[in-house]
Structure 1
Amino acid sequence: MNDFNVMVALLGALILLLALASAWLARSPLPPTLIALAVGIGIGPHALGWLDLEAMGDKASLLEKAARLALGIGLVGVALRIPSEFPRRQWRAMLTLIGLGMPLMWAISTVLVYLILDLPFWMAALIGAIVTPTDPVAATPIVTGSLAERNIPERIRHAISFDSGANDGLGYLFVFLPFLMLTKSIDDALTHWLLTTLLWEVGAATALGLMLGYVFGKLLRASEAAGAIKDEWRLIYTAALGLLAIGVGKLIHSDEVLVVFAAAAAFDQVVSAPDRKNEEQGQEAVNRFFAIPIFILLGTAIPWDGWLELGWSGVLLAVAVLVLRRPVTMLLLKPLLPDVRSMPDALFMGWFGPVAVAAMYYAAMMEHKLSEPLVWQVVSLIACASVVAHGITGAPLTRLYGRIAPRRD
């Protein structure tokens, strides 16, 4: 309990300090996610030793719960940022990004893990699936703010946001297929994946999320019409919807990440754009509150000894995944995406598909289920490499993109 109180106090103090310098940080080329990661490394067990998750019990379980909460809250913010007409207008392109893009990224990542680390195929496929989804929490600093609005067309910003939100939940399908293959016979694994994972944990999760978002969107509209809700409560309404979706999804043993995104997407369709602006502003503030601690925790949970065991093969894998996984996929899909109108569009969308909180969530879950530390060692290395690489290149590449790719919304 004392260790937990130390963690809560440290995280609260660090958020306060970052808030006091938030105006300076906004002018910094480094995003808050990268600063939070560096802070976590500094207070972790291998530096100052102020926070050690191992001393608090099951590190994997703690990271899974923390990442699930941050991811759930972040997904609500992503859905609210996307105009309600965008999914209806761009459904073919989004279906292409998800239906073809995710299998391609999974295949590329699996082949890289298999060849570079020389792991058994299904273990390589598991790690490849975990790093397949692009992360909405880490992508938020890239697609929001004045720098992004000046240099990145709306069509690209919304495409990155929608893709990162949807593929996080659907990543569940890709993660659980190799997991089942590792833990069951082939027939049992395929039967379970088709009947339980696909139909219930993903299909039912989507339906439940859509229902929750629609119902609570309608209830909000009715409450507003009756003058029963105060403005300050509106600002936390969507955050509460995210928490409800996370909890209900977990209670029915489904893909709770997909429940959250579906609920927020349905809510987005019900609540009009002027009304949604207040929810979006409140949600972004809540997102920041939850995003900073998860990257601090990632910094404290880095398995340095495991990284040393991976050696240069781990470094090569991290670089190869970042350079090939999404950029190659976007270049292959460019002819099928009408709004990706130029090579700079494809390269920008390809590069900025970070690996972060979603990968942490799935990696911690699989480490907890398999008791295999290798999963966390490899995924945490790729996630940290992504936070550093995308954090450092975010501002300069956004400016470069704004200069060489004229806005054509």
Structure 2
Amino acid sequence: MMLEINIALLTIGGLVILLGLFSSLIKGRFFISDPIVALFVGILISSGGLDLVHLEHWGKPEAILEQSARLAIAIQVMGVALRLPKGYLFKHWQPLAILLGLVMPLMWLVSGLLVYLILGLPFWVSLLIGAIITPTDPVIATSVVTGTIAEQNLPARIRYTLSTESAANDGLGYAFVFLPILLLTKPPGEAIFHWLTKTLIWEVGVAVILGGVFGYIAGKLLLWSEAKKMLEKHSFLAYTVALSIFVLAAVKLLGSDGILAVFVSGVMFSMVVNGRDRAQEEQVQEAIDRFFTLYIFVILGLNLPWQQWLELGWSGLFLVGAILLLRRLPAVLALKNQISSIIKWTDALFMGWFGPIGVAAVFYANLSVQRVGLESIWVVSSLMICASILIHGLTAVPFTKFYGKTNEPIIFYEQS
């Protein structure tokens, strides 16, 4: 097992180095995103490739994927929170409210019904899979809205809206996922009562409060340390990574939603310390995000159910097309006039298309498999995850450049 772990560490470390050296070339010329490269590297060293690493030798694959994805999401949502302008959520709450309050439930229902109608799985299992693939992924979304190409072609209102939504709905996805889990594992009355009380109030509501408290205290302590000249400049970055991990673990130990709490803590922390004024830290934060998130796509590539995908046949391919086209785009187009950050049709098309499925779905899918015990959950979810990584990753650069060509240049540099 140690040999396999060292091979995996060598692979991940080498991957981060190579992408750091050639990422602009790979993304700009070949339109290949970092998550695609990481996924294919994982497939290459898996039992389906060079047969170098077997995830099951390390332990239970579902548990490894769940916890690995949980850590990656925490680091990424903290990074999103720190990159937002100070007070952004309070100034631009309206588009986020529509996207989370209306678009997200519609995405869940549409996704679940498509799984039910196309694959014929039991209704609540279908809605569980729909809930798993509902959250838009902050890791893949970040690869779409950050970097030179995005900054030169996308207005700030689009970039910030997509980033903020992807970070916030990862934590809120907890409520959508646990409703069908509870209905599949408990009597209906008990399940609904548990969901309304424990899930919504404690695991989601308290997560917001705890995240805010932890973020505020962490920010005030940092300012106090700086005022006393006890903080070295480079300590800020380690501080924010540590805050992500601390909040994730602490809130989970209290039985609440750690991912949502991490995002809220990041927003509150940034407000207290005015993190957007730290230009150098922002750049290095992106590098840290890359190091702490790319590994999950390698691990994902080690545990793909190829044979079960083939058994889905044409229904699986039909589901991929239907989900990618109907899960999000129609809802955003229908509500475009209510979303203040959408001004033109091109805004709605871009935001409607780029709702990638990724690390959040890996986390919720493996959590669900362990709670419900149905392998079909991972089979369908992993198919949608990999399809989204590939298709959204390949279309990110050309669609971004196309957006830039079809809009007035002045829009690219507007401030939010």
> Is the counterpart of residue 8 in structure 1 residue 31 in structure 2?
no
* Contact 1:113–1:317 under 8 Å retained in 2: yes
Q: Distance in 2 between matches of 1:146 and 1:63?
A: 31
Q: Which one of the candidate residues 342, 345, 354 is aligned to 2:344?
A: 342
Match of 1:262 in 2: 264
* Contact 2:118–2:319 under 8 Å retained in 1: yes
Secondary structure (helix, strand or coil) at the match of 1:129 reads helix
* Contact 1:236–1:279 under 8 Å retained in 2: no
Q: Distance in 2 between matches of 1:172 and 1:297?
A: 22
RMSD over equivalenced CA pairs, Å: 1.5
Shift in alpha-carbon separation, 1:37–1:179, aligned structure 2, 3 A: same
Match of 1:146 in 2: 148
In the TM superposition, what is the alpha-carbon distance from 1:273 to its structure 2 partner? Answer: 4.8
Secondary structure (helix, strand or coil) at the match of 2:74 reads helix
Q: Distance in 2 between matches of 1:4 and 1:187?
A: 46
In the TM superposition, what is the alpha-carbon distance from 1:278 to its structure 2 partner? Answer: 3.8
Secondary structure (helix, strand or coil) at the match of 2:328 reads helix
The one-letter code sitting in structure 1 at the alignment partner of 2:304 is I
In the TM superposition, what is the alpha-carbon distance from 1:274 to its structure 2 partner? Answer: 5.3
Match of 2:371 in 1: 369
Secondary structure (helix, strand or coil) at the match of 1:405 reads coil
Match of 2:82 in 1: 80
Q: Distance in 2 between matches of 1:20 and 1:402?
A: 26
* Contact 2:137–2:358 under 8 Å retained in 1: yes
Alignment of 1:70-109 (within 5 A): 70-109=72-111
Q: Which one of the candidate residues 176, 179, 186 is aligned to 1:177?
A: 179
Moved more, 274-283 or 368-377: 274-283
Secondary structure (helix, strand or coil) at the match of 1:47 reads coil
Write the deviation string for residues 288-321 of structure 1: whole angstroms up to 9, x where unpaired. Answer: 0022111111111111011012111111111111
Q: Which one of the candidate residues 237, 259, 283 is aligned to 2:285?
A: 283
Q: Distance in 1 between matches of 2:170 and 2:338?
A: 22
Secondary structure (helix, strand or coil) at the match of 2:313 reads helix
Aligned-residue identity in percent: 47
* Contact 2:83–2:276 under 8 Å retained in 1: no
In the TM superposition, what is the alpha-carbon distance from 1:230 to its structure 2 partner? Answer: 0.5
Match of 2:123 in 1: 121
* Contact 1:38–1:299 under 8 Å retained in 2: yes
Q: Distance in 2 between matches of 1:263 and 1:128?
A: 28
Alignment of 1:4-403 (within 5 A): 4-22=5-23, 24-25=25-26, 27-28=28-29, 29-273=31-275, 275-403=277-405
Write the deviation string for residues 321-372 of structure 1: whole angstroms up to 9, x where unpaired. Answer: 1111111111111111122011110000011110000000000111122221
The one-letter code sitting in structure 1 at the alignment partner of 2:320 is A
Q: Distance in 2 between matches of 1:376 and 1:13?
A: 29
The one-letter code sitting in structure 2 at the alignment partner of 1:325 is R
The one-letter code sitting in structure 1 at the alignment partner of 2:381 is V
Q: Distance in 2 between matches of 1:291 and 1:111?
A: 31
Q: Distance in 1 between matches of 2:108 and 2:43?
A: 29
* Contact 1:236–1:282 under 8 Å retained in 2: no
Write the deviation string for residues 72-104 of structure 1: whole angstroms up to 9, x where unpaired. Answer: 000011111211232111112211111111111
Q: Which runs of 5+ in 1 are unaligned?
A: none
The one-letter code sitting in structure 2 at the alignment partner of 1:119 is L
Equivalent residue pairs, number = 409
* Contact 2:111–2:323 under 8 Å retained in 1: yes
Q: Distance in 2 between matches of 1:274 and 1:116?
A: 46
Shift in alpha-carbon separation, 1:398–1:186, aligned structure 2, 3 A: same
